Amino acid sequence: MRFVKGHGTENDFVILPDPDAALDLAPAAVAALCDRRAGIGGDGVLRVVRTKLCPEVADQAGRAEWFMDYRNADGSVAEMCGNGVRVFARYLVASGLAAPGEFGVATRGGVKRVRLASEGDVTVDMGRPRVLGESRTTVNGREYHGLNVNMGNPHLACLIDDPVAELDLTEQPRFDREVYPDGVNIELINQVADDALSMRVHERGSGETRSCGTGAVATAVAAAHASGRTTGTWAVHVLGGTVTVTLDEKTSYLSGPAVLVASGDWPAVLHA
């Protein structure tokens, strides 16, 4: 079985071309692929499948030919992945499945419009963030309060004074399971300039990652909220690089690099 490896600011993915929906991705198989010592290694799996062949998103087929079936590194199913969409779009263009320019990608969080050339950054319309109140997390024994932001998937974005570079995110931060019954992506954020933010993230189902696209947008939303703004552009610095988030009155945009780094054959049989 063919695979491609790609990353967006070092948020890395195993891409599985499956145009005819022939693969049965059991959670254990996904976890094996993402294992960094015994597998290919990645923060998640992006299955490339025709939208019309997937009942859960078939209603999006008229607006997007290809469905990004995203799985977290532990095999759990996720609604959306901002960096994943950008890497997915880069793969579609590089493999000839889509032309450079603008097109839609089907996701469990709805159709996302992407824009890219043959080279350079990839931009995705992430949709309008939904702010659902506030919540809190505990990291290294310290409690932090933050904004409950939904980007098609759940986030808790916390602007904090403690340096994020000094946090230990090897363990799952505590959070309110009544607010987030299905888990949550947790962002810890420092404001480093008026329009620049430093962020680290512990992702649901993957642990700490080098970057998180939906989390970068949630980070900008939290910064905007704290300063009384609703629009603007922020540079979000993550461990794997920098992405740009733009908020306007109707939607949000995420821009940054998306790179394909390797391809090959995986011998394992991916069935339950």
Spot the catalytic one: 34, 54, 81, 158: 81
Contact indicator for 10, 208 with CB cutoff of 8 Å: no
Contact indicator for 199, 216 with CB cutoff of 8 Å: yes
Q: CA dist 37 to 15, 31, 188, 207, Å? A: 18, 11, 28, 16
Annotated catalytic, 54? no
Spot the catalytic one: 34, 54, 158, 212: 212
State both tokens at 140: 């290294």
Annotated catalytic, 212? yes
Bridge partner list, 46 = 15, 70
Catalytic (active-site) positions:
81, 212
